[in-house]
Structure formats: C-alpha cells, structure tokens
Structure 1
Amino acid sequence: MLLYLLPLVLVWANAMDRALDRWSSVSRTRRQTRLNCPKGCHTCSKLNGCITCLPRYFIYLERLDMQQVGSCLSSCPEGHFGVRRERRGVSICQKCKLDNCDTCFSRNFCMSCKGGFLLHRGTCHEACPRGFIANNRSSECRRTSTPAETSEDGDCITGQWSQWGPCLNTRRACKKRGEKLRTRNVMAIHGSESPNLSRSETEQTVPSRTSTLLHK
C-alpha cells in the first residue's frame, strides 16, 4: 500500500515546492515595489537602484566601483542611444561606438559631435572632406553651394572670387592705367602638409581690363 502512495506523495511535494517558489517571487517583487523607488522605476533595490522600468522609460546602467547601478530615464544620456526590445518588454540605453560622438541615433550613426569635431554623414571628423565646408553654427559639413576651386597642389579648397576692386595707381584712383584686385578665401585644407596660403600675381592693365591676385 505504501508503495502505491509514494508517487502521490512525491507529486504533492513537487507541487508544494513550485507554489512556494511562486509565492517567494511574488513576495520579493512586492517588497521591491514597496521601496521608495526613483521616478520611472517599476522595481528597485537599495544596492542596485532600478531593476525594471515603467513603460516608455529606458534603463541606464552606470558602473560605480565594482557594482552597476540602474536608473530609469525618459531619454538616454549623451554618448548613448535607446533600444526598445518589445518582445522582452525592456528598453535599454546602449553606448555609442563612434569616436568623438556626443549623441547618436544608433550604434554606428552619430547625430552630433564633441567640441572641435565636424559631423559628416553620421561620423565625426577633424576637417570636412573634399567638396564640403564647415557650417560653424551646426558644426556639420555641408556641400559647397557653388563648385569650389582647388589649389594647384590639391591640398586646399578655395571659394569663389570676390568682385573686382577699384582701379588704383600708386594708391590713387587711376585715370588711364592701374591695377584692379580681387581675392578668394580658403574653405578647407587637406593633406598632411600645409599648402602655401599666400601667393600673388599682379599685372598692369587699362581700367577696362582685369588683373589677377591669387589668395589661396
């Protein structure tokens, strides 16, 4: 008789263990919820901060000495981007993997760069590539609005020529012969060696003609 009852006893003991585990898990979650959790936290602990977040919040893990402390944020801090994992019901902040990037849209696409760097097509550069110039307001590289002219050594990009200046002859307005000058500015420098940025060529003409001053 006892041999017949033994399987039933084992099944009952197993069921009781499962019930106790569920009760312990629910009790632990309730204790965590009863803590004075920071804003956005669903559950938390005194040692590790936020453990889970409310919907629409991102969990951000920060390492302090030998432990990680979690916090729940509505948006990720600089140098991180948010990833929503709907299947797991978890939204997390991940670190940007791009050098000199302040804010990024994804792991490999930057949205703004650190000071002193220029944004070009999702990455940060010390100088804009050929055919682009820096926008000082946005710290981004934009394509030149007019075809840029390149210096003879190919190491600098210059803008368009300015309007011709007045005709001068020994610093006075000329009547029959004199010089007219115009300039252009350097827009971007390329190459390991700095090009010669000051070079001039002038020639005497009658006022109706033009002379040339190259300023690269």
Structure 2
Amino acid sequence: MKKNTIIHIGGARGVGKTTLLRSLSDSSLATDSGFVVLHMSDYLKDLSLFVYERPWSLLSEQDRQVVRVKAAERIQGLPANTILLDSHCVDMKDGQPVKIIPAEFERIIDGYIVITASPQVVRDRRLKDIRKIRDNDLTSIGTEIEYELLVATEIASARGQRVEVMDNTFLPETSEGIEQGIMRIIEIVKKFEERGQGEYENRLHNIERC
C-alpha cells in the first residue's frame, strides 16, 4: 500500500506561511488536490487534551514526548494523498537559533518546503500582527530565516530528500496575492507527489523482479 506524502512547510515566523496554509485549507483547492493541512502547534495541543485531558502547556517533557510519538503515528495513518505540516524547524532563544523539530517528525517527513521573505518584510508583517509578541530585531529575524532553511536542508540532505524554497517577499497581502501564493505551494507540492509516485513504482518493480 502506498504511503501518503508528508511535506513539512516551514519558515520564520512572519513570512506568511500560516496565512497561506490556512487559506489553502479553507478552500476547495485542498480537497480537490487531496491535501490535508495540519497546523502542528494546534494539532499537538488538541492531542494533549485527548491523551491526558490537560493542556500542552501543563504537560511534563516526558508526557509531551508521548504526545509527539502519538502525533507522528496518527499523521502517517491519515487518509489523505498528501499531508502538509505547518511547523518550524527552529526557534529563537535569546537571539540564538535552536532546532525544535522533533526526531519523530523527521522520520515521517518526505520533503521540505521553506517559505522565505526579506527580513524587512517579515518585520513589517510581525509589527502588523498585534496578537503576538515577537522579536522584531532585523538581525535576529535574518538569522531565523537563514536557519529555518539551513536546518531543513541538513535534515533533508541526511535523508536523501528534497528542499524547495518559496520566496514570499513580493506577494501582496491581498486576496489575489494569497491566491498566487497558494497556487505556488500547490505547484511545488505536485513535484514532491510526482517524485514519490515514481519511487513507489520503482520499489514495486524491484519487488516483482525478486
């Protein structure tokens, strides 16, 4: 049985990643394309309530690890052709990048899309989002953008996977701009799906030869 394709879509906070993915998830394009979008922060919080009946913020690290393992298992079993994980590879702690992507997720991911934008554009977007308190220092933002790509590339390289980069600097924050961004994501994801199907067919061919 062919496994689903799991794509990690990351990027520094403020590049517009979640805006694009929420819009994709809410549109018929996701259903038509066979995509399921999972916002990992929300997914882990919901699963922690299901498993422990306690919010994620109150779980011990040991309990959080249990939730991560269960999350990876559940994601692999979802009935979808392609699963898009809205998440991050790094977080900034005291101005320094720290890798945060769990090993359990690395093992199930088939490829990475990293959404980027210029530090100034990211800063402007963060300042507009008054719901969240974020570091707006341009140097720190530039470091976060750089390391999101670096860590994704290191993981993918070690596992023989692909990384695709999507620059979201110049897409306007309008319905038209969001639609353009969504179509670009779909275009990139299709490349991963085509490669995954080719690898699956090669494995079947090798099995038949044996």
TM over 0.5: no
Task: Report the TM-score range of the alignment, normalised by the length of the smaller protein.
Answer: under 0.3
Q: Which has more strand, going by share of residues?
A: 1
TM-score of the pair, normalised by structure 1: 0.16
| TM-score under structure 2 length normalisation | 0.16
- Which is richer in helix? 2
Higher relative contact order (CA 8 A, sep 6+): 2
Asked which structure has the greater CA Rg, the reply is 1
